């Protein structure tokens, strides 16, 4: 099991354990993390699972692919470290991953 921490805009943090092979979005949905909507169900067809990957983890999660970048155009307040978390696959290398949930998904 891999630990992932979600930090809400108000600073509240929740650490969940997730199985490798799932996506960070699925881990969030399984654990009822607030603010991760995932309207399209993980098809990279919306932008409602937007998160900010903590700076220390950006090398490990890698960068958004072209299709994901296109979808990020539909997210609000995109910053460095912005990712759609349905596109981040959980592996051992991500154990301890910290992501921040944006104030708004839209």
Partner 1 sequence: MIETTPAALEVSDISEASETSGPIETDAIVIGAGPCGLFAVFELGLLDIKAHVIDILDRPGGQCAELYPEKPIYDVPALPVVTGQELTDRLMEQIKPFGPQFHFNERIDGLVREADGRFRLTTDAGTEFLAKVVVVAAGGGSFTPKRPPLNGIEEYEGKSVFYSVRKIETMRGHDIVIVGGGDSALDWTLNLAPVAKSLTLIHRRDEFRAAPHSVEKMRKLVEEATVRLMIGQVTALEGANGHLTAVDVKTASGTERIACSAMLPFFGLTMKLGPVANWGLNLHENLISVDTERFETSEHGIFAIGDINTYPGKLKLILSGFHEGALMAQAAHKIVYPDKKLLFQYTTSSSSLQKKLGVK
Residue 77 interacts with partner 1 (CB under 8 A): yes or no: yes
For residue 71, what are its two tokens? Answer: 């979808």
For residue 11, what are its two tokens? Answer: 């600073």
Rule CB under 8 A: choose which of 68, 78, 81, 95 binds partner 1. Answer: 78
Residues 8 to 47 in contact with partner 1, rule: CB under 8 A: 39-40, 43, 45-47
Residue 68 interacts with partner 1 (CB under 8 A): yes or no: no
Rule CB under 8 A: choose which of 74, 89, 95, 96 binds partner 1. Answer: 74
CA distance 79 to 51: 10
CA distance 26 to 84: 12
Q: Are 6 and 16 in contact (CB under 8 A)?
A: yes
Residues in contact with partner 1 by CB under 8 A are 39-40, 43, 45-47, 69-74, 76-78, 104, 106
């Amino acid at each position: 099991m891999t630990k992932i921490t979600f930090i809400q805009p108000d600073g509240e943090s929740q650490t969940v354990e997730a199985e490798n092979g799932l996506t960070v979005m699925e881990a969030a949905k399984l654990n009822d993390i607030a603010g991760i909507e995932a309207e399209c169900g993980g098809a990279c067809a919306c932008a409602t699972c937007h998160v900010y990957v903590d700076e220390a983890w950006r090398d490990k999660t890698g960068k958004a692919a072209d299709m994901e970048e296109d979808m990020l155009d539909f997210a609000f307040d995109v910053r460095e470290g912005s990712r759609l978390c349905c596109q981040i696959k959980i592996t051992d290398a991500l154990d301890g991953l910290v992501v921040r949930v944006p104030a708004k998904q839209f």
